[in-house]
A and B are shown apart, each in its own frame.
Chain A
Amino acid sequence: MIFRAVEDGDLIRQAARGGVEAFNLLVSRWEKRVYNYLLRLTSNREDALDLTQDVFLKAYQNLRKLENSERFAPWLYRIAHNEAYSMFRKRRPETGLDDLPPESAEDGIAVGGRSVFPMELSLSVTAALNRLSPEQREAVTLKIYQGFKFEEMAEILGCPVSTVKSRVYSALDLLKAELAPIGRGVS
């Protein structure tokens, strides 16, 4: 008997043939990452959860269109990006994303009133992230927190690699100026 880890590609193929259990296993592998990505974009748990459910429902409905199973992650995050921006547009149809006011650190993501790290550090990082533009914040989220390559980010965001690099580099410069002194205390 040969044991082999069930890879995402196997689950995608089974799910594309209508295997709900295979898709549920796929969801369990990715739901936390997608949820946290959407949480960084929306800064709201309910919105992030609703969007995560919508993302996986849409993924299940369109899984047969995914030709290369190795591109599942960028494809899934592309759906998540589109769903989040669709929600933004519905809520603020008259204003662009650049016009959204940056949230203050106090309005940022609160970790349920508890802090696994020093509260001051969490607030500082959240405040620094919120001072970025929505595009820069999303780029940092995809690069630093989700670990995507520039090409994959370009696929997710639907823009050239040069634009992605520009957003990440400018965001890093801003974050470095604010967080490097704090990070010295962390390390």
Chain B
Amino acid sequence: MSCSPFDLKEYFLRELSQTDAARVEGHLKSCPSCREEMDRLQLTEAALCSLREEEIPQRIAFVSDQVFEPSPLGRWWGAFWGSSARLGFAAAAMLSGAILISAFTRPAPAPAVNLRVPTRSAQVSAQTFSGADIDRRIQQAAAVEATKAVALAESAHLAEIRQLRDDLNKARYNLSVAASEYDFAARRQGLVNVAANGYSFPKSDAAGESK
């Protein structure tokens, strides 16, 4: 059990920061048990390091072979697919291009139309108007229709009166023409009689003049 402010193994494995390592070192100076534990760890490391690294029995080396070497284009292509930054840039460029093409080729949007649903509005009206309102509206509509009918009848009656007046004027004109013709015929007959029988003064007129 360690009483060190930090894990002694972490200090031993050189995973602590310099500040923390200095604190552990200060603690080790004053704590015999932690110092003993640290000694055991260092002895273990010394024993482990007694196993030396071996030399590799055969050196590894690669030989350049033009047959298997990728072409400059192949290297560029490989490097392109191997680099996420380049791939990301290419993807962003393609996306931007697609957005621009879409913006230039898309048809203009249709003007906004305020669509109404008649049935729904009728339902809403029916729901909101009371019976009195409906009666009043019916009466108003009936009055309008009656006014229209009266106006229509008046105009028809006026046209009839005008027709009668025109007919009367025509009859009056024909009558005056007929009277004039009659008068003309009577005078003509009188003249013919005078021409045939001579002029004779009316008796009443002669007696009156004699008197």
Contact = CB atoms under 8 A, between A and B. Distances in A.
B101 to A, nearest CB: 32
Contacts of A32: 53, 55-56
Given A24-B62, A52-B60, A176-B40, A67 B83 contact: yes
Contacts of B209: none
Contacts of A62: 82
Interface in A107-157: 109, 111, 116-117, 121-122, 124-126, 129, 140, 143-145, 149-150
Contacts of B51: 109, 117, 122, 125-126
A122 B84 contact: no
A105 interface: no
A60 interface: yes
A23 B64 CA distance: 11
Contact of A187 (B43, B54, B78): B43
Interface in A150-187: 150, 168-169, 172, 175-176, 179-184, 186-187
Q: For chain A, what secondary structure do more than half of its interface residues adopt (helix, strand, loop), or is it mixed? A: helix
A169 B2 CA distance: 14
A35 B56 contact: yes
B167 interface: no
Nearest to B10: A165
B134 to A, nearest CB: 78
Interface string B119-135: 00000000000000000
B56 A180 contact: no
Contacts of B79: 16, 64
20 contacts: A18-B69, A20-B62, A24-B61, A32-B53, A35-B54, A35-B56, A36-B54, A56-B62, A64-B79, A64-B82, A116-B52, A122-B51, A144-B48, A149-B15, A168-B13, A176-B41, A180-B41, A183-B46, A183-B47, A187-B42
B49 interface: yes
Interface in A27-77: 27-28, 31-33, 35-36, 39, 45, 49, 52-53, 56-57, 60, 62, 64-65, 67
Interface string B22-59: 00000000000000000011111111111111111111
A89 interface: no
A176 B12 CA distance: 13
A23 B62 contact: yes
B98 interface: no
Main secondary structure of the interface of B (DSSP, over half): loop
A17 interface: yes
Given A35-B56, A52-B56, A175 B62 contact: no
B56 A184 contact: no
A49 B40 contact: no
Contacts of A169: 9
A162 B60 CA distance: 36
Contact of A186 (B46, B57, B75): B46
Contact of A67 (B57, B60, B64, B84): B84
A28 B56 CA distance: 10
Closest 8 CB pairs of A and B: A183-B43, A183-B47, A64-B82, A179-B47, A20-B64, A35-B56, A180-B40, A65-B82
B48 A179 contact: yes
A144 B46 CA distance: 10
Contact of B59 (A31, A175, A184): A31
